[in-house]
Structure 1
Amino acid sequence: MHIVFVCREYVPTLRGGGIASYIKETAVNLVKRGHTVTVCCASDDTREETEYSDQGVRVIRLSGGDFVIPGIEHASIIKKFRCLYRFFSYRRKILKTIETLHNVDIVEVPEFGAEAFYLTRLKIPVVIRLHTPTLLDRNNAGIKKLSIRNFYDYWVGWQELRILPKFQYVTSCSLSLKRWFETCVPKLKSNIEVIYNSIEIDSWRSEKDREYSEGSILYVGTVAEGKGVGDLIEACRILRSQNMSVTLHIAGKMGAYANSLKKEVDGNGEIWCTFLGNQTRGCLKDWYAQSKVVCFPSWWENMPLVCLEAMLAGNIVIGSSNGGMAEIIENGKDGYLVPPHNPEKLAEYLRRALEENEASVAQKRANAYKKIKENFSTDVILDSLETYYLNVIEKNAASQDIMG
C-alpha cells in the first residue's frame, strides 16, 4: 500500500507531541513492512518548504502553516491571527499536495487541527484518526465553552467537530475517546474502530538494573493545567510536609501556565522541583532510568504513549482514572490509577508506590511487560491497522464501482 499521513507535527519539531510520536513510529514501521509511506506535515518555519527521506519515509514539510513559533519567526499581533486567515489556504495546500502524489491507496489524518477540511474531495479513502479534540474539556469530559480567552482555539475546534460527520472511516486511539465522540458529536454516523497506539518494545524496555533514587518522581508531557501538573506539585508538597524526602522532575513543553508554575516554585525556594523543558527521546530514557515513579495525573487523557514508555522502562506508573489510562493500567497489578483533581489522594498513591520494595516493583514491571507485549506492541497493532486499511480500501473501491 501507499499510505499518506497528514499531520500538524512530525519529529523533529518544536511543536511535537503525542501525535508526532505516533505518526513517526507508525510510518517508519509500516515502511519496514514493505509499504510506501508519505508524510505531509507543517514546517516549523512557515516560510520554508522542504522534502527529504526519513528511514524510508518520504517527508514533505509544507510552508504556509497557520501558526507562528517565536524564535523561528518574528511574532506579531497579526501573526497571532494566522489560525484564521491561513486556515483555508493551508488546508487547500494539503489537498493539492496529496493530489500530486502517485498511486496513493489511503490517507490518514488526525481530527486535531481539522486538516481534513478539504479532503472529502479526494476519491481515495480518508481515515480520520481521533487523538484528542481541541474542544474536549478535561474538567468535566464535556465540550469547552466559548470565551474571549479561547476564541481562536474554539473556532478551530469547532471546525474539527463540524467536518467529522462527512467522513465514513474513523479510528480512535482509545475506547474512552470513542465514547466521548459518540456522546458529544451525535451527528457522527461512522462506526469508530478502536485501534490503540503502538509502541516499539525493544526501544523502551530496560533490561539493566535500575539505579533510581528512592524518592524520585517524574512527570512527562505538556506542562498544562489539564494535565494535573499543579495537582502533582501540591501532592509532593503534602509528602514533604510529612517528612518524606521526594524530588520531582517535570519534562515537557512549556507555556504560559508552566512558566507561572515555575515562577511560583522558584519563589518558594522549592529546589526539590525541577522543570526540564522539552527532552529528546534519548534523554527521556535516562530520566525514566533515574526515577522510581512516573506520574500522569491528567484530569482526562486519551492514550498517552509516555504511559506505555514508562511502564516498559520499569517505572511504577501512576495514571489518571479518567480516560484511556484506565485501559492501560490495572490498578495495583501493573501500576496505579488515581482520581483527578485530588492532590491528597495522589499523595497517598505516591507514598504507596515510593515505599514498594524491589520484589513488588519487579512484579509490576513483569505484569506491565506482558500486557504491553500482548496488547500494545508494534507487531500486534500494525497487524490490526493493516487489516483495517485493506478493508477500507476494498469498501471504497466497491462504493466507487456502484457510483459508476
Structure 2
Amino acid sequence: MRLCLTSSEVAPFHGWGVGACTTHSLRALRDAGHDVHLLADDLPGLRAQALSALPGIHVHTLHAQSLHHVPCIHTKRPLEIYRRLLDLHQRHGFDALLFNDFYADAFHVLRARQTMSHFAGVAIGVILHSPITLLRRINRQTECDLEVAAITHMERACFRLADVLLAPSRAIVRELAATPELQSSVPPESSPRVRIVPYAYDAALLRAPNAAPAGSTPRASLDAPRSEILFFGRLERRKGVETLIASAASIMPSHPALRVRIVGVDTDTAPGRRSMRGWLRRQIPPGLADRFIFEDNQPREAIAGLISGAAAVCIPSFWENYPNACLEAMSLGALVIGSDAGGMPEIITDGVDGLLFRAGDAGSLADALGRALRDPACAVMREAAPRTVARLCDPGLHARQIVAGLEEARPASRSVGVASPARVGVIVPCFNLGATLPATLDSLWSQTRPPDEVIVIDDGSSDPATREAIDRLGHPSLTVIRQHNQGLPRARNAGIARATSDWIIPLDADDMLAPTFIEAALHAASLDPGLGVITSHMACFTHSPDQPELEYVPLGPDPEVLRVLNCVSSATAMVRRELILAAGGYDPEMVAFEDWDLWCTLLARGVQFAIIPQPLIFNRMRPNSMLRSMPLMEQQNLRARLISKHANLPGDATRALRIMLGESCHFQRLWFESQHRQDAGPPPLRHRLADKAHQWLADLGLAPALKPITRALFEPASFEPRA
C-alpha cells in the first residue's frame, strides 16, 4: 500500500507525544513493506536529517508562506495540506491518507473529495489522539471565540466524513461520543468505521545511546530504595497534578525522604487562564515546598534517566487516551501509577504490571503511592511492564491493523459526475454599476458550462452611464428587468420570480465567476443530490481578479457561528430556486446582510450546504461599496434584527454568546494594545531587532529554519500551544 501520513509533530524533531506516535507508525508501516510518505511541517532539521532519522520514508514538507493571502489561521493549515497533497497525489497515486485529529488537518481534503471528486478511491483515515475540542472540555476551558468554534466545526466534519477512525483505545471513542460538540459526528465503537489500533511502540526511538535495552534493568537496581515520584508531561488542568500534590503531601510525614519531581512545560489552563505551574505551587502545604521539584521540559535521554531512578512514574490525569508517557515509562521498566480514567486501564492491569487509582481521588492515589514506596511486589510489576508494552504495541501488529482498517474502508472509485440536465440561471441586480457590469457578464459568457439564463435587474440606476451600458446589452440568454429603486433584496426577488431555472446564482454587478464555477457546482450537485446550496472560496481583489489580495475561506454552516457572523458564503452561491421561494425569498427589510439572513433561514429548514475548496468567486473590494458605506449603527441594527429573527436556529445559543464575548474581548485587547503602543512611544529595541531579523531571514529564504532562533534571542517566552 502506498500511503501518506500528515503530521505537525515528528519525533525526534518536535513533539514526544503525538510526534513519537507518528514516528513509530511510520517505521512500523515501512518495516511491513509499504511505500510510506510523510507530509510534515518544515520542522527544524527535518529535511537535513530525514534520511538518517527516517530511512526508507519519503519526506515532504509544507511550503512555508504559500498561503500568506489566507487571513484565517484556523483554515490556512488544512488548506495548505490539501493543496500540497493534491500535487503529491498526482505524482505518487496514494492508496490511503492518514491524518491526526487535532486541528482538523483532513478538513479540506475531505471537503474536496465531497465536492470535486479529488482523492476519489483513496482511503482517508483520521487517527484519534485527542482533538482540541475534547482537551478544552477536560481542561474546563469554557471561553470561546471564532477560532475555537471553527476548530470544533472542522474536527466534527473530519469525524463525520472520514472513511475510518483509528482509535488507540476504546475509551477515546466513548469519550468523543459523550462530548456534546462532537457526539453527533462520532460513530459508536461497534461501527465498521471505527477500528481500535493501539499505538506502535519501539523503545529504541527514545533510548539514550549507552542505555541498556528496555526491561533489562539489573535486579539490584530494581530492589534499591527509591524515594522519588516522577510526573512528566504538559502542566495542564486535565493532567490532574493537583491530585498528585495532595496525595503526596498527605503521606510525606510518614515518608520523610519522599520527593516529587514535576517536569513539563507550563500552560495557561489554571482557573482564570493563569499559569498552571504557579497555581500548582500554591496547592503545596506550607513547609513542604522544598519537597516538590518543578522543572521545565528535559531532553528525552534525561527523562529516561529520571524514569529509571524514580520509585514510580505517576500519571494522575482526569482523563487520558492511550498516553505515550505511560508506554515510555513502562517500556523502561518503571512502575507506573495511573488513573482509571480513559485508556490507561487498557494498558495497565492493576497489581500485575502497574497500579491504578480512582481518578481525582487523592486518598486512592495516596494508597498507591504508599504501596510503591514499600511493597516489594512492585519490583515484579516493573519487570512485567516492558513485556506488556511489547505485547500491546507490537509494531508489526500495529501496521497490519492500520492497513486492514484502511483497505476495508477504502471507497470504490466514483466516476466523474455526469453533467446535470438541470437549468441554471444567474440573477444580477445593478444599481449604478455600469462600469463593472460588462466584466461581470463576460465572466458568465466565458463559463465552461454556460448559464441557461441571465437576468439583469436595473434597480432604478440614476447614473446615465449605467443606463446606457444596460441598454447596449445583448445576448440570447439575457433578460433585462427595469424597476424603480427598491433595494437589493427586492431586486433579487424580482429576478428570481422571473427565472425559470432549477438553480439560481445571485451575483453582484461588480463581482465575477471563475470560468469553471457553474461546471464545478453542478459536479458537486451530481455527487450529492441532497445538496441545496453550493458555493466556493472567494478571491478578493481591488484591481484585477488575476491579482487577488486575499482568499476568503468559508467555514460552512455552523449554527452557533452563524448567529455571530456569516460563515457560509457571500450572496454568490448556486441555490435551488424552490428552496429560495419556500423561504419567502430575500427579506426586503434586510437592506444589508440579506444573504446571511437567507442562509440562516435555509439552515433552520435543514437544507444541506457544500463548499468547493477552490476560489471560484471573484469579489471586487470597493471603498464605496454598499456595506462599507453603511454607518455602523445601521449595521448593528440589522445584525440585532437578524439575531432576533433566527433565535430558534439549531445548536447551543449559549455557545454563540460565548463566541461573541470572546470576540469582544479580542477587540478590547487589540484596542488596549494599540493605546499602549501610542502611550509607550517607539517599540522596544528587541522588537525592532526581531522585526529586522525576521525580514532579513524571509528575504534570504531561511525563515523556516532560523526563525525559532531569533524568537529565542529577541522575543519573550510564551506558552506552547500543544505538546
TM-score (norm 1): 0.82
Instruction: Give the Cα separation in 2 of the matches to 1:231 and 1:373.
Output: 30
Structure 1 unaligned segments of length 5 or more: list them.
67-81
Structure 1 Cα separation of the partners of residues 359 and 70 of structure 2 = 32
Is residue 188 from structure 1 mapped to residue 183 from structure 2 by the alignment? no
Q: What's the counterpart of residue 134 of structure 1? A: 132
* Pairwise CA distance, 1:260: 1.4
- Aligned-residue offset at 1:38: 1.9
1:203-214 matched pairs, under 5 angstroms: 205-209=214-218, 210=221, 213-214=225-226
Letter in 2 for 1:131: H
Query: 1: distance between equivalents of 2:21 and 2:240?
Result: 22
Shift in CA distance, 136/96, structure 1 to aligned 2, threshold 3 Å? same
1:284-323 map, 5 Å: 284-323=303-342
The root-mean-square deviation of aligned C-alpha atoms, in Å, is 3.3
SS at match of 1:132: coil
Superposition map of 1:156-171 within 5 A? 156-171=151-166
Which residue is 1:365 aligned to? 382
Report the counterpart of residue 109 of structure 1 in structure 2.
99
SS in 2 for 1:271: helix
Distance 1:283 1:99, change over 3 A: same
Q: Distance in 2 between matches of 1:253 and 1:152?
A: 23
Cα–Cα, structure 1 residues 175 and 253, in superposed 2: closer, same or farther, change >3 Å?
A: same
* Conserved 8 A contact 1:338-1:345: yes
Cα distance change on mapping 1:389 and 1:199 into 2, 3 Å = same
Identity of aligned residues (%): 22
Deviation at 1:391, TM superposition (A): 3.1
- Local SS of the residue matching 2:290: coil
Query: Which residue of 2 is the match for residue 38 of structure 1?
Result: 37
Letter of the 1:206 partner, please give it. G
1:379 correspondence with 2:379: no
**What's the secondary structure of 1:109's corresponding residue?**
strand
Q: Which amino acid aligns with 2:278?
A: S
C-alpha distance in 2 between matches for 1:260 and 1:298: 18
Alpha-carbon shift at residue 24 of structure 1 (Å): 1.0
Alignment partner, residue 663 of structure 2: none
Q: Distance in 1 between matches of 2:46 and 2:351?
A: 49
Q: 2:86 aligns with which of 96, 99, 121?
A: 99
**Partners of 1:65 and 1:323 in 2: how far apart?**
38
Q: CA-to-partner distance for each residue in 1:312-366, whole Å, 9 max, x for gaps?
A: 2222111010100011111122211111222232112101111122xx1332134
Q: Specify the alignment match of 2:57 in structure 1.
A: 57
The 3 A distance-change label for structure 1 pair 291 and 229 is: same
Residues 269 and 215 of structure 1: CA distance in aligned 2, closer, same or farther (over 3 Å): closer
Amino acid at match of 1:133: P
Shift of 1:247: 1.3
Q: How many residues align?
A: 379
Task: State whether structure 2 residue 6 is matched by structure 1 residue 6.
Answer: yes
Equivalent position of 2:278 in the other structure = 260
Measured at CA, do residues 38 and 297 of structure 1 come closer, stay the same or move farther in structure 2, by a change above 3 Å? same
User: Counterpart of 2:289 in 1: which secondary structure?
Assistant: coil
Amino acid at match of 1:198: A
Please name the residue that 2:631 is paired with: none
Residue 207 of structure 1, CA deviation: 0.6
Which of 79, 86, 89 aligns to 2:73? It is 86
Structure 2: distance between partners of 1:151 and 1:263: 33
Query: 1-side partners of 2:388 and 2:280: how far apart?
Result: 36
d(CA) in 1 for partners of 2:2, 2:286: 54
Shift of 1:93: 1.3
**Contact 1:49–1:63 (Cα < 8 Å) also in 2:** no
Instruction: Give the Cα–Cα distance (whole angstroms) in 1 for the partners of residues 200 and 228 of structure 2.
Output: 27
How far apart, in 2, do the equivalents of 1:273 and 1:59 lie?
42
> Which ranges in structure 2 are unaligned for 5 or more consecutive residues?
113-118, 208-212, 269-274, 419-723
Residues 10 and 23, structure 2, Cα contact 8 Å, conserved in 1: yes
**TM-aligned CA deviation for residue 39 of structure 1:** 1.7
SS at match of 2:165: strand
Partner amino acid for 2:316? P
CA distance in 2, matches of 1:61, 1:254: 29
Which residue does the alignment assign to 2:293?
A: 274
**Structure 2 CA distance, aligned partners of 1:337 and 1:239?**
18
For the Cα contact (< 8 Å) 1:201–1:378, is it kept in 2? no
Could you say what secondary structure the match of 1:181 adopts?
A: helix
Aligned with 2:262: secondary structure? strand
Cα distance in 1 for residues equivalent to 2:148 and 2:370: 38
Q: 1:262 deviation in Å?
A: 6.7
Confirm or deny: 8 A CA contact 2:4 2:39 kept in the other structure: yes
Q: 1:354 to 1:36 in 2, by over 3 A?
A: same
Matches of 1:17 and 1:154, distance apart in 2: 27
Cα displacement (A) at 1:269? 6.9
Q: CA deviation at 1:293?
A: 0.4
> Which residue of the partner structure matches residue 232 of structure 2?
220
Q: Which has the larger radius of gyration?
A: 2
Measure how far apart 1:8 and its partner are.
2.2
User: What's the TM-score, normalizing by structure 2?
Assistant: 0.48
Q: What letter matches 1:161 in structure 2?
A: R
